[in-house]
A and B are shown apart, each in its own frame.
Chain A
Amino acid sequence: AQSVTQLDSQVPVFEEAPVELRCNYSSSVSVYLFWYVQYPNQGLQLLLKYLSGSTLVKGINGFEAEFNKSQTSFHLRKPSVHISDTAEYFCAVRNSGTYKYIFGTGTRLKVLA
């Protein structure tokens, strides 16, 4: 069965430091990959997505992610975080041609002053 693993449940990081949130998935077919963010008291917002093409995907708010097919990973990175990046981040996959999203358990990013 398809699954998404976000090993880090919480990641504390100081402001202006770089951050990487890890995501690994298991799938035997072609997939689309997504990162969503949920700010406190708000809904899920799409940060970025990989559908095809370049494996380095740039998203909103300075985030980027790299699709690595051999390692089945889609780690999210930001070179310098802000306090406002404090939120919960979800990695998700969807098999191409289907509609079900499979989500990871989420990573809470806490940016410290």
Chain B
Amino acid sequence: EAGVTQFPSHSVIEKGQTVTLRCDPISGHDNLYWYRRVMGKEIKFLLHFVKESKQDESGMPNNRFLAERTGGTYSTLKVQPAELEDSGVYFCASSQAAAGEQFFGPGTRLTVL
């Protein structure tokens, strides 16, 4: 069974540009989460989807970040416009039940220059 996959693995963009990160959860997992780790800090929760609905987006830093999960399958996280402080590793995770074990993807390393 395939695990959680994320694309791209790395992205380097200029400040002010737009970047879209993609996450494909484990098949059948209704719950999808985004986390972020900025340099040297802890991994922090961004938001939680149940199917296509946002259940909790309390961790989203600001309105430059937009997450979607159309159709309840894969999810995208768009940053527009990107700022220097957005650099970090963005992890996606999925789980069958909301309080169940989360399986993490390999992360996308975003560098904003």
Contacts and interface: CB of A to CB of B under 8 A. Distances in A.
A42 B101 contact: no
Contact of B45 (A49, A90, A101, A106): A101
B2 interface: no
A102 B43 CA distance: 8
Interface residues of B, number: 26
Nearest to B59: A100
Q: Could you say which interface size class chain A belongs to? A: 20 to 34
A106 B42 contact: yes
Interface stretch (B12-20, B71-79, B91-99): B91-99
A9 B41 CA distance: 10
B80 interface: no
Interface in A19-44: 36, 42-44
A99 B40 contact: no
Contact of A43 (B44, B56, B99, B106): B106
A7 interface: no
A104 B42 contact: yes
Interface in B62-105: 91, 95, 98-99, 101-105
B101 A46 contact: yes
A102 B33 CA distance: 13
Nearest to A45: B104
A96 B81 CA distance: 37
Contacts of B3: 43
Contact of B99 (A9, A36, A45, A98): A98
Interface of A: 4, 9, 36, 42-46, 49, 90, 92, 96-106
9 contacts: A43-B91, A44-B43, A46-B101, A46-B103, A100-B45, A101-B45, A103-B42, A103-B44, A105-B42
